[in-house]
Amino acid sequence: MTERMVKIAELQQKDRMERFVQLELYPQQSVMPNLAAKSLLFRPTAKGRRPHFPDWEPVPVLNIQHMEMSFRNYQLDQNDLTGWLVLLQFAKHRQDLIAAFTGKEFLRRMRKQGSSRDYAWLSSFIDRISGTQVRVAISGETENGSRRFRYQGVLAPQAMIEETREIYALELSRALWSFFGIDSWSYVNMEARLALGQNQLAMAFQAFLMANQSPFWTTWETLYSMWGSNYHEMRKFKHAFQDRVFGELLKVGAIQKIVKKDKTIGVYW
């Protein structure tokens, strides 16, 4: 990479950080790097079935070319994505990207009651967000020909906890944040997301929609390729998706309407 390209990359990252810090958020909003929704890094998982991957596991990336992702250690799920969005709320106005909060504040934003079970989840979430390694590789053309750049790290490389008063400070990865800023950001309606409860498939699709423009037009075949890995038949997937995803998103107000044509489906929000 030439000195000029390095300087441009530094300025682009600085500009992204300044725009991020200046974003105005309502209390019920968070800001989400689109790559977090357009990849399956935060994969919907069934309760009690979180797999562990000691070796690098490929992560599908949806609708973004020339990019590869993988991870190892803990499988992150949609509840972890919600937790990460809450961390971004706490870190948004700090140039050092440190999310500082009390356990009670964090759990309240997650709509958790603060029980011992909730604090156990918070502890395990911090283990996952600071323990799962993520690898992002980007290929492209430069003035020196084809190049491929790779970064690997964790989303929160340091966690500092004052256990007596339950005060937390998590440093979010600036370098990995830069990679997650490649495809810009989107606002996420946290009220609608939290209203979905433990419906991880609906949460994942809501996040994906927020990373795209309304209306989002697609086909059942595309939806099945993206979200149907747990279904052996298209028929069962369509029934489950219409009921558990479209139906629930309409109910909580995350989407406004569904338009079905012969071969395509339009989702408006």
Q: What does each of the 269 residues of the chain score in pLDDT, given as a tens digit?
A: 455 554 445 545 555 545 444 444 445 555 677 788 888 899 988 777 788 999 999 998 887 778 889 999 999 999 999 999 899 888 877 777 899 999 999 999 999 988 999 999 999 999 999 999 999 888 877 777 787 888 889 999 999 999 888 999 999 887 776 666 555 677 778 888 999 999 999 999 999 888 888 899 999 999 998 888 888 899 999 999 999 999 999 999 999 999 998 889 999 98
Q: Identify which of 21, 196, 42 has the alpha carbon closest to the alpha carbon of residue 125.
A: 42
Residues 71 and 122 both lie in one domain: yes
pTM exceeds 0.75 for this model = yes
The reply to whether 67 and 20 lie within a common domain is yes
pLDDT digits (tens, 9 = 90+) for 142-184: 777 787 888 889 999 999 999 888 999 999 887 776 666 555 6
Q: Which two tokens stand for residue 121?
A: 């989840």
230: which residues sit within 8 A by CB, 6+ positions away? 46
Which phi and psi (to 5°) does residue 64 adopt?
A: -130, 120
Q: Are residues 105 and 11 in the same domain?
A: yes
Final residue in a domain of this structure, among 141, 162, 194: 194
Domain identity same for 147 and 218 = no
* Count of structural domains, the chain: 2
Domain edge (last residue) among 163, 194, 225: 194
- Determine contact, residues 256/269, Cβ cutoff 8 Å: yes
Are residues 170 and 249 located together in one domain of the fold? no
CATH assignment at residue 126: 1.10.10.10
| In a domain? residue 201 | no
Is 263 found in the same domain as 164?
no
Let me know whether 147 and 30 are in one domain.
Answer: yes
Radius of gyration of the chain (CA): 19
In a domain, residue 158? The reply is yes
Assess if residue 136 is contained within a domain: yes
- Could you tell me if 222 and 95 lie in one domain? no
- What are φ and ψ of residue 147, in 5° steps? -135, 155
Which string of b and e fits 232-245 if b means at least 16 CB within 10 Å? Answer: eeeeebeeebeebb
In a domain, 208, yes or no: no
The verdict on 189 and 266 lying in the same domain is no
- My answer on whether 60 and 123 are in the same domain is yes
| 217 and 190 co-located in one domain | no
In whole angstroms, give the CA distance from residue 155 to residue 144: 31
Residue 62 lies in a domain: yes
The residue range of the domain holding 234 is 213-269
Cβ–Cβ under 8 Å, residues 188 and 29: yes
In a domain, 203, yes or no: no
118 shares a domain with 52: yes
